[in-house]
Chain A
Amino acid sequence: MSASGALRQTGGSAGGGNHDPGSDGPTRRVRRRDPVTWVQRGGLSSLLFALPLLIIFGVFSWWPIVRSVVMSFQKTNLVADPTWVGWKNFEFVLTDPDLPTAILNTLYFALLALVFGYPIPLVTAVLMSSVRRRKGLFSVLAYLPVVVPPVVAVLLWKFFYDGAADGVFNTILSYVGLGPYAWLSSPSLAMPSLVLEATWAAAGGTVIIYLAALLSVPDELYDAAEVDGAGIWRRVWHVSMPQLRGVLLITFILQIIGTVQVFLEPYLFTGGGPANATLTVLLMIYDYAFGRSLGGNYGAATALSVLLATFLAILSLLYFKLTSGWSKS
């Protein structure tokens, strides 16, 4: 009985996955009204196995997500019960004089991150893919900065960016007769400085993604192109690049989604300064909720984060619309 019960259970479970061709037939009976049968067929142990996931996700993911939407319509403080305030939080956030600055700064960061961080890894990966020996060494070198803990990277670069004439970067640039620059304390240079560090810290990951994609391009395509008389450059442009299209789009969207949520760099490098030049949306959310001067305005913080999430959701939706036609790469 136990063996046949177990078999039936597998049959039923495989029915969902089509791994077993025979399982779509009459074996796929769902007869769970009787709790004893349910337990015998492994229903209880399924539930037990799902328990860690259900509890952890329930308490620390699903519920907070719902709560975030609820809280954006409430006034919450830690003492009294929350009260409904309708759209007040959104009004407050949208009329905050700092918001336009923060949005523009965030978009500026995202744009600069694309300008720095999009072509460089691609060129690097294309070159790397043609390396014949010690490709591993190249990839290790490219990936090394990604391994450095982000906080350490920011603090180290903060030291490099020292605005004095004998700061590290200023010393290097003085060899070629440039500088000294104020870097982080200059309103115009602060943001590019943050992006430069962020690119250094993240580009290696993108290189590896591109490299893996390039190396999975079928050789026959190159062979065919070569037979047709395509030179190296045209093989890269007309064979490799189209094959990379899917990956390029994915990294593009992911990078925007990532950079729009930038927090660590502005928080640790400049704290939003100088003169709000590096104030980003996430920094605003943080300040609403946990900042020293404001702080405790949980309603405003959640309202702004819900707005940001909506924007990102629209972005990824757009991305799926765009890719659904040619997701097969």
Chain B
Amino acid sequence: MTGQHSSEGKRTTMTVTDPTGRRDTGPVVAGARRRPSGAGAPAGAARVARTARKRKKSQFEGGRGYVSEKDWRNPRIRATMTTLHAVLLGLLLLVGIGPILLLAKYAITPTQDIIRTPLAIFPNGVRLENISEAWNDVQISKYFLNTIWLAAGSWFVQMLVATTGGYVLSVLRPAWGKVVNGLVIATLFVPSVVLLVPLYLTILDPPVVGQSLINNFLAVWLPSGASAFNVVLMTRFFDGLPREVFEAARVDGASNFRLFWSVVLPMSKPILGVVSVFATIASWKDFLWPMLVLKDPGMQPLSVRLPAIASQTDLGVFLAALAISTLIPIVFFIAFQRLFLSGAGLGGAVKG
């Protein structure tokens, strides 16, 4: 397997250049990248996808671990481990869910009770109006929509850049691809703070457009596409796809576009999912950049509006607004747990 060997070598370099990118963290990418050596010759796209999915499922069900079956049969070890696990579960519940449950409680508690007895459980009943007031009077609904709109646009730009870019760098590989690849990877090393001021000035006076993009969603959408991390993830996933399939498609007369749209993309669903989750979440979290370029309060997303309204809003209503803003990401997370967790380790570099 000489091919495997040289791609192995390439992967090591990648690890050096991109410490967060996969390696010990992103089983999805790994699934395609290092197919178990026992699998023998690659047997097509379906197999890659399936392997990736299988690894995802078994992600947290490793082997025996450091406690063996024999240990588990030992009553003393068993009791100790069970106690430790119970304590851990208790702490995780307290720390992981505790603050979120408190927030949920505050969202429907009268302000007076929140202030006087923050930990009492509804001493004077609930106040559901907090939520409706936050949604309507504080116009959370509008900021909510802005947030979704920003996330959707950023998602689109990031996907477009990452998929087409990854396709060029991994599949088409023109002579100049290496230079572009190097330039993309180089940006991973530049902390985002360096971009802050010059990017802001670029938005004030963008090339070609001729007018400032301040208070324009494009000011958030377009720069989000310049995520080297997405491109690297995509390129490496495409690298792992079996080349035989591409060649077969070419023999059948598929054009570059056809190959991209009907072969490469359908084979890349796992990584498309991962990058989508990253893109959406990063956009949902972003604060500083939208604050700088969207000065019109009517266009700002929740992350920017919430700190601004904090002081003039009734505490109960404000905490209800916080709860509403948390709801969607949490629902997303519960729904796509596996995607989130398998990509969790990669998250650090998304928006350096």
Which A residues are closer than 8 A to B by beta carbons? 2-3, 6-7, 9-10, 13-14, 16-21, 30, 32, 42-43, 45-47, 49-54, 56-57, 59-65, 67-68, 71, 76, 78, 124, 127-132, 135-136, 138-152, 155-157, 159-160, 166-168, 171-172, 200, 204-205, 208-209, 211-219, 222-223, 226, 232, 235-236, 239-240, 246-247, 250, 253-254, 257-258, 261, 263-264, 267-268, 282, 285-286, 289-290, 298, 301-302, 305-306, 308-309, 312-313, 316, 319-320, 323-324, 327-329
Contact = CB atoms under 8 A, between A and B. Distances in A.
Contact of B223 (A60, A131, A316, A324): A60
B255 A45 contact: yes
Contact of B24 (A62, A209, A218, A305): A209
A247 B197 contact: no
A320 B340 CA distance: 28
A232 B100 CA distance: 35
25 contacts: A6-B254, A10-B243, A19-B3, A42-B172, A45-B172, A49-B168, A50-B164, A50-B177, A51-B164, A52-B165, A53-B165, A60-B223, A64-B202, A124-B88, A131-B88, A144-B333, A147-B281, A149-B302, A149-B326, A152-B303, A155-B322, A205-B348, A208-B25, A208-B345, A218-B63
The 8 closest A-B pairs by CB, nearest first: A215-B62, A53-B165, A64-B198, A208-B344, A219-B63, A61-B226, A209-B345, A67-B198
Nearest to B3: A19
Contact of B183 (A62, A131, A312): A62
A267 B349 CA distance: 21
Contacts of B187: 57, 61-62, 65
Contacts of B344: 143, 146, 204-205, 208-209
Contacts of A138: 88-89, 92
A242 B334 CA distance: 33
B263 interface: no
Given A10-B246, A13-B172, A64-B195, 18 more contacts: A52-B164, A53-B164, A65-B190, A136-B60, A145-B96, A148-B100, A148-B330, A155-B307, A168-B102, A204-B344, A209-B345, A215-B61, A216-B24, A254-B19, A261-B192, A302-B198, A305-B193, A329-B24
B168 A143 contact: no
B66 A232 contact: yes
Contacts of A130: 65-67, 81, 85
B180 interface: yes
Interface string B1-22: 0110011001010011001100
Number of contact residues on B: which range applies?
35 or more
Given A46-B168, A136-B60, A63 B202 contact: yes
Q: Helix, strand, loop or mixed for chain A's interface?
A: helix
Interface in B43-93: 59-68, 70-72, 77, 81, 84-85, 88-89, 92-93
Nearest to A6: B250
B195 A56 contact: no
B198 A68 contact: yes
Contact of B243 (A19, A156, A324): A19
B250 A7 contact: yes
Q: Helix, strand, loop or mixed for chain B's interface?
A: helix
Interface stretch (B122-130, B132-140, B265-273, B284-292): B284-292
Contacts of A49: 164-165, 167-168, 172, 256, 260
B206 interface: yes
Contacts of B303: 149-152
Nearest to A222: B66
Contacts of B66: 129-130, 222, 232, 235-236, 239-240
B65 A215 contact: yes
A17 B92 contact: no
A166 B115 contact: yes
A309 B307 contact: no
A309 to B, nearest CB: 5
Contacts of A17: 6-7, 10, 170, 173, 239, 243
A290 B204 CA distance: 14
Among B25, B161, B287, B319, residue most surrounded by chain A Cβ atoms (within 10 Å): B25
B243 A64 contact: no
B15 A141 contact: no
Contacts of B170: 17
A303 B263 CA distance: 47
Nearest to B231: A53
A324 B16 contact: yes
Nearest to A147: B333
Contacts of B88: 124, 127-128, 131, 138
A325 to B, nearest CB: 11
